[in-house]
Structure 1
């Protein structure tokens, strides 16, 4: 669970490698029939690490219901590392910790299911998990069946304790494919839906290129931290690989750090907005017993969640202008600021103020590839939940807070008014039918 080092050269190769993202991944993405949309839920690691037990899991689920998180769409409850005994049984089985999970996992998952939640568990593609518990390498089929027999619907699969090359004799994709095959085979033999398979690979092997052929989500960076610079590093890295995300498969930006300290309110809004609009899974990593009304309000913003869960458009937002840096610049503290993407109800726009001071943020509408020239657009603010008039040709967000965000939904509102000068919003190559260059 360490943070891998990445240079600008690595990011450049990441952008180039994405060109080779093939139709094979797209074709195989929907074959499992699960996780068409990003998963929303809870994961124990960031708030509790190894300090977990069955009572904590159930109390967290009940809190999710009482706080309104379940009704907002957060229906997944995932155990992370440290739930097992340190050694397998004589039959090779992983077993629950006899003290912390004394009732067994069938009792736990039955309770979660009765509360209306899906249940998730964790394992590792190597010899051991990252905390030193039994991994699943060479036990993939046995462990997949164990997890299904316990009633789990979701598997997070980590990348620690990798076997030596002369043992594994395959690349990282093959190491993860072993468990993907075990899950698929088990689904066929049992007649049950396959577990959702979430790859926690950290991006070492450019997982965004092949991840969709193996699982339903894939981590693209190392572990997150509740610090602005750490969030911006993740946003920067993922700004170059947004086209890997679509229905059934998506870049996973790691758990939400809202409420864990280290972020201002505006930074927390930017964190949530970026993750949601990039269609990352949204897994809360916060102690819910200490959550504030402000953070709960961020997590339950129904208009932002509706974009993340859009049943018509599965793609991520992408940068259309980097802003303070030239386009396609990798900058881990000041990533792209101007983003857009399609939705079933219009064009989504995110303006991210990465500066250490408030800023006005201006853009021409047609800078976004989803906006038509010569049209005007109604403006819906997805944070204030207000309709803010009509934009013609351009838009300025005034006084965006330090490290703050603006999220808009632009809907086509018909032809722009006649007589606007110049004839084109963007003067470059704006030409009359007689060949006269207009403006500029």
Structure 2
């Protein structure tokens, strides 16, 4: 679907919503100042998990160098529990698949240098039909803390009737956020990271930062280009909501599970990382290829995701094949930029099914100064690419491929350039005459 947000009634409404989005008033409780990097069991294994698989995944992350690259969370998703609570009302781990207990498993994974995550749901049941946490939020958070978990993914299935909740979606998630605060106070421990999986899209990017450190903005990712394009398009209008301690969650990294070309996998990783999404690998690590491992370990891209000085997401400065502010779930915005501690990062995304050369004027990005020249670093070639003066062209970007560049100011542009301005029709001499044409 293609929608021009500037020229439709729906667009006017959405622009009104967008204008109200501010930099996230983040929940600064001392955890997850930067995006979480790690692993989640769901995409590769769904319910087919046990303690040996989880521990083995942690060991593989270490041996593959992923821990050294910054991936330091090992998160268990749905289906780890018994289908019924104990007689005292507690969630209990599956007695067969986690026979030695979650506490013991956590000790082993923590001993490897990782932190750990667990899963629950804001409704009666999880999405897999296991006990949810509604009306048991504090009880369950105490259980997860006692087991030794550092992170909670909190889902949105099996919502109780309105006559029971008597609240909106914010109030339903507030219950677990309050439990996180209470357990931190009781235990004198660092609060558990709360990741809201509210895929109902009820403007979660506007309120999520007040409750947790990340919030899902769309439904589950699928291993194909159409899914990536949809997610990128949707989030292109929400980038203002991401900053330190709070960020849009674009869902897991669906790399290496089939369905994506190598170039699409690079685009997937680049967009997620530069939009400062959490980076949670969903790949079977025992089957990972060197190419995919190389994508995941791209230090120059990861350094921007983990920038300690700038927490903001990249944003589109031009949509490209569509008019600006056009919502197109198959052809999202193509030209993006954002500030970093080391310069301005650019993402050029070829959404076409054929190679394309992509050109932009440097000052189209609000982070670039007019009248200056910039060194160009190619973050995928890991090589310097000359000096850009006024504009830059990336030649023959592959179908669904990406170019990621870091531009650094290296001084005034050369003298004597004509016209006097790179965007000549915007400039005027002090005597009132145009400077080019």
Aligned residue in 2 for 1:109: 106
- 8 Å contact from structure 2 (residues 2, 329) kept in 1: no
Choose which of 27, 30, 38 in structure 2 pairs with 1:29: 27
Aligned residue in 1 for 2:350: 353
Choose which of 167, 171, 175 in structure 2 pairs with 1:174: 171
Choose which of 297, 301, 325 in structure 1 pairs with 2:298: 301
Choose which of 418, 423, 427 in structure 1 pairs with 2:424: 427
Per-residue Cα deviation, 1:5-61 (whole angstroms, up to 9, x for no partner): 9998878755532332357x51x521x110000000000000000000000000000
- Stretch of structure 1 that moved more, 181-190 or 128-137: 181-190
Q: CA deviation at 1:203?
A: 4.5
User: Helix, strand or coil: the match of 2:308?
Assistant: coil
Matches within 5 A, 1:207-226: 207-226=204-223
User: Helix, strand or coil: the match of 1:297?
Assistant: helix
Per-residue Cα deviation, 1:337-374 (whole angstroms, up to 9, x for no partner): 00000000000000000000000000000000000000
Aligned residue in 2 for 1:231: 228
Say yes or no: does 1:135 pair with 2:127.
Answer: no
Equivalents in 2 of 1:6, 1:341: separation in Å? 25
Give the TM-score, by structure 1 length.
Answer: 0.96
Equivalents in 2 of 1:29, 1:167: separation in Å? 28
Say yes or no: does 1:406 pair with 2:403.
Answer: yes
- 8 Å contact from structure 1 (residues 11, 237) kept in 2: no
Per-residue Cα deviation, 1:279-304 (whole angstroms, up to 9, x for no partner): 00000000000000000000000000
Name stretches of at least 5 consecutive residues in structure 2 with no aligned partner.
Answer: none
- 8 Å contact from structure 1 (residues 246, 315) kept in 2: yes
Choose which of 254, 258, 261 in structure 2 pairs with 1:264: 261
Equivalents in 1 of 2:388, 2:152: separation in Å? 45
Per-residue Cα deviation, 1:65-99 (whole angstroms, up to 9, x for no partner): 00000000000000000000001111110000000
Aligned residue in 2 for 1:74: 71
User: Helix, strand or coil: the match of 1:304?
Assistant: helix
Residues 295/12 of structure 1: CA separation in 2 closer, same or farther (3 Å cut): farther
Aligned residue in 2 for 1:184: 181
Say yes or no: does 1:339 pair with 2:366.
Answer: no
Equivalents in 2 of 1:213, 1:301: separation in Å? 32
Aligned residue in 2 for 1:154: 151
Say yes or no: does 1:372 pair with 2:369.
Answer: yes
Aligned residue in 2 for 1:16: 16
Equivalents in 1 of 2:200, 2:235: separation in Å? 10
User: Helix, strand or coil: the match of 2:375?
Assistant: strand
Equivalents in 1 of 2:51, 2:10: separation in Å? 42
User: Helix, strand or coil: the match of 1:410?
Assistant: strand
Equivalents in 1 of 2:391, 2:62: separation in Å? 42
Give the TM-score, by structure 2 length.
Answer: 0.97
Aligned residue in 2 for 1:99: 96
Q: Over the residues paired in the alignment, what is the CA RMSD in angstroms?
A: 1.5
User: Helix, strand or coil: the match of 1:330?
Assistant: strand
Q: CA deviation at 1:231?
A: 0.4
Residues 265/384 of structure 1: CA separation in 2 closer, same or farther (3 Å cut): same
Q: CA deviation at 1:429?
A: 2.7
Residues 333/86 of structure 1: CA separation in 2 closer, same or farther (3 Å cut): same
- 8 Å contact from structure 1 (residues 380, 409) kept in 2: yes
Residues 209/271 of structure 1: CA separation in 2 closer, same or farther (3 Å cut): same
Say yes or no: does 1:121 pair with 2:118.
Answer: yes
Per-residue Cα deviation, 1:245-265 (whole angstroms, up to 9, x for no partner): 000000000000110000000
Name stretches of at least 5 consecutive residues in structure 1 with no aligned partner.
Answer: none
- 8 Å contact from structure 1 (residues 229, 333) kept in 2: yes
Matches within 5 A, 1:192-207: 192-207=189-204
